[in-house]
Amino acid sequence: MKSTLANGVNVSLSVKQVYLDVCALCRPFDDQTRMRIRLEAEAVQLILSHVRTADLILVVSPVHDVEIAAIPDATEREYLVHLLRQVGQRISANLDEVRARAELLATQGLGPADAAHLAFAESASADFVTCDDRLLRQCRRLAVHCWYGTPLALCEKENLR
């Protein structure tokens, strides 16, 4: 099975596609004094190292652009913009279908940005990664059409080293 990225490149789905929401992408910038945050930050860095070596494909959507543009810290914002340009792959999706799915997820209790992130991840057949416990609980109760979990759970599932 193949998927087409926005740049027209066909990729084999044997290379795992991952969708890190902005919460996960920002984890390395969070206060590292708590063990959980430090472990999740390391897991995000490990995932990104596998993206850089093309073992994984990092899927990027327009929702990333909107949320990252709203980050008040200029250093963090610029780093994330550069990171996504450098290693992310924009997914080409049927926006009407994504919008309809996001609206359905929103009616089931997800916030608009979370619903849109999840709808884009589903449309890309990507694993959805977040550090947001509330969002993960909501995913458990909804009929989500992709794997979802924390950065640590993805590293464990994919046996990333």
**Phi–psi pair at 149, nearest 5 degrees:** 175, -175
Q: Which CATH class is domain 2-157?
A: alpha beta
The two three-digit tokens of residue 47, written as one number: 């995932």
Of 85, 16, 96, the closest CA to residue 57 belongs to 16
pLDDT of the residue at 143: 85
- pLDDT score, position 2: 43
- Cβ–Cβ under 8 Å, residues 16 and 127: yes
Kindly give the parts of the chain with pLDDT less than 70: 1-13
CA–CA distance, 139 with 148 (Å, rounded to integer): 8
Q: Where are the domains of the chain?
A: 2-157
Please name the residues in contact with 100: beta carbons below 8 A apart, sequence gap of 6 or more. none
Query: What's the pLDDT score for residue 51?
Result: 98
